[in-house]
Structures are given as C-alpha cells and as structure tokens.
C-alpha cells in the first residue's frame, strides 16, 4: 500500500477536519514504530529503510495486513483527538490485534537478531 492510498482510504472511511499533513504525520509515527520495533530487530533489516512520507512511498506492512494496521491506527488517532472514547477503544483493539498479527507473521518469516544486537549503544 502506498502512502497516498492509505490517506485516500482514511479520508473516505473517516472524514475529519484534520489536514492531510496531520494524517501523514500520524502515518509516519506508526511507520517509525513498525520499523524500529519489528523490522530492525530481524535479519535483513539493512535492506529496508524507513519511509519518508512521500505519496509514492510503499508502506512497510504488506497489503494483506496494511489496511487493518494503518487505517485502524489513523481511526484511533482521530477518535483520540476528538475525545470519542468508545470509538477510540474500538479502534485501539482492532489496531492492536492487526499489529500483533503482522508482528507474528514477520517473526515467522524473518530470523530475529540475537538479543542485544539491535540496540544502539
């Protein structure tokens, strides 16, 4: 999924007053978290780089998990900013489930680094 595709989907599913720049910033927050917590902790991470947020950037999570991870995260952030607690809780539960499914899938396919090697000194 491309950055622009994720932004188009969230604007269609959850219209809000938040600018595209704000949505893009939130999207890059979760991208950085995925990159640091999942990608960098496994062999082959040197071949990947964190996205810059350009429209044509391919997001790190494969398409089979992408919509659940990114869209639920953005819906969660929108609900949080709007102080809609019920919507936030629902989106947070869906996001956490999708994030864990992706993390498990990634762990099954890529060899984790030995403990301690992925931390910067």
Tell me which residue of 80, 63, 90, 52 sits closest to 6, measured CA to CA.
63
- The domain limits of the chain are 3-109
pLDDT confidence band for 6 (50 / 70 / 90): very high
Q: What pTM did the predictor assign?
A: 0.83
Is the predicted pLDDT of residue 121 greater than 60, yes or no? no
Mean pLDDT of 52-76: 85
pLDDT of residue 74: 97
Counts of helices then strands in the chain (DSSP H, E): 5, 0
**50 phi-psi bin (left φ>0, alpha ψ -120 to 50, beta other):** beta
Sign of the Cα pseudo-torsion (48, 53, 58, 64, in order): positive
pLDDT at 22 over 70: yes
Cα end-to-end distance, the chain, whole Å: 33
């Amino acid at each position: 999924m491309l950055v622009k595709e994720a932004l188009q989907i969230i604007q269609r599913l959850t219209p809000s007053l938040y600018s595209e720049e704000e949505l893009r910033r939130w999207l890059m927050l979760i991208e950085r978290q995925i990159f640091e917590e999942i990608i960098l902790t496994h062999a082959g991470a040197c071949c990947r780089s964190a996205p810059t947020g350009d429209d044509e950037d391919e997001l790190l999570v494969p398409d089979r998990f992408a919509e659940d991870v990114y869209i639920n995260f953005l819906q969660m952030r929108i609900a949080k900013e709007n102080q809609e607690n019920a919507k936030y809780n629902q989106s947070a539960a869906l996001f956490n489930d999708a994030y864990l499914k992706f993390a498990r899938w990634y762990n099954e396919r890529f060899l984790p680094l030995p403990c301690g090697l992925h931390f910067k000194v």
